[in-house]
Amino acid sequence: MEHQHGSSCPIPVIAIDGPSASGKGTVAARVAQRLHFHYLDSGALYRLVALAASRAGVSLEDEPRLASLAGRLDARFADDEIWLDGEPVGLGLRSEACSQGASRVAAWPTVREALLARQRAFRQAPGLVADGRDMGSVVFPEATLKIFLTASAEVRADRRYKQLIEKGLHANMEDVLRDVRQRDERDSTRAVAPLKKGVDARLLDTTGLSIDDAVEAVLAYYRQVCPC
C-alpha cells in the first residue's frame, strides 16, 4: 500500500518549518542522519526554479513559464550535491540572489502546485525529515511530528552571515539582516501557503540553543510521538 511499511504503520514524516536562517536545514539534516531517514530540503527546489529561470531568461513575474519550468525541473539530490540539468549547482544555490529569487518564485500558486508531487515522492521508508515553510501545513498535513523552528531575526542573520563567510561567499551583515527581514515579510504575507506556525506544530525557539540542543529536542519530541 502506498506510504505503508511494516504492518499498519504509515511511513513517518517529521515536518520542520520555520523562517529563513532559523537553522532548520542543519537541524533537519542531522535529525535525518540520526534516524537514518531520508531528507527533503524543499527550499532547494524553489532555489532551483529561480536558478533555472535565470539561466533560461524567464522573468520572475512570468508565473505560467515559471510553473512550467518547475514542472519539468531536471533536478537530482545525490552524493551531498544538488544537480540541475545534469550538472552540480555548487554554492551558487545558497547565494543571496538565489534566496531572494526563490522567495519570489515561491509566492506563485502554480509554481507551488507544480512542485507538490515531487516533494511527496521523498516520503520513503524508513521515514522522512522535510524542511521548509509549508511541510506541515500543505505538503505533509498528516506528518507524524510538526516542528516550527525559529529564532530572533538578529540571531538568524548572524547565523546566516557566518554560514556564508564560512563557505567563502561574500556577505555583509546589514544586507543579510535586511534579506532575512524582507523574506520573513514576503513569506508570511503571501496568499498561498504563508509561513506561520500551525496549531498542531510544536514551537522550538533556538535563539539560545545550539544546533546540537535543537537536534536533541526534535529527537525527544519524536520519541514521544513515534508510532512504531
Could you tell me the three cell numbers for 67?
A: 510553473
* Range 86-125, binding ligand CDP (CB under 6 A): 99, 102-103, 106
Nearer to ligand CDP, 121 or 220 (CB): 121
164 binds ligand CDP (CB under 6 A): no
Based on the number of CB atoms within 10 Å of its own CB, is 74 exposed (0-12), middle (13-18) or buried (19 or more)? Answer: exposed
146 binds ligand CDP (CB under 6 A): no
Among 10, 13, 38, 46, binds ligand CDP (CB under 6 A): 46
* Range 182-201, binding ligand CDP (CB under 6 A): 183, 187
Each residue 10-29 as x (binds ligand CDP by CB under 6 A) or -, in order, gives ----------xx---x----
Q: Which residues of 97-131 are buried (b: 16+ CB within 10 A; e: fewer)?
A: ebbebbbbbbbbeebbebbeeebbebbeeebbbbb
DSSP characters over 80-112: TEEEETTEE-GGGGGSHHHHHHHHHHTT-HHHH
Task: Give the range of 28-36, 37-45, 75-83, 170-178 binding ligand CDP by CB under 6 A.
Answer: 37-45
For helices 42-56 and 109-120, give the axis angle rounded to 10 degrees: 130
Could you tell me the three cell numbers for 186?
A: 514576503
Reduced to 3 states (helix: H, G, I; strand: E, B; else coil), residue 145 is strand
Nearer to ligand CDP, 9 or 63 (CB): 63
Give CA–CA dist 145/135, Å, rounded.
11
206 binds ligand CDP (CB under 6 A): no
Task: Give the range of 57-65, 128-136, 146-154, 203-211 binding ligand CDP by CB under 6 A.
Answer: 128-136
Binding site for ligand CDP (CB under 6 A): 20-21, 25, 42-44, 46-47, 99, 102-103, 106, 132-134, 183, 187
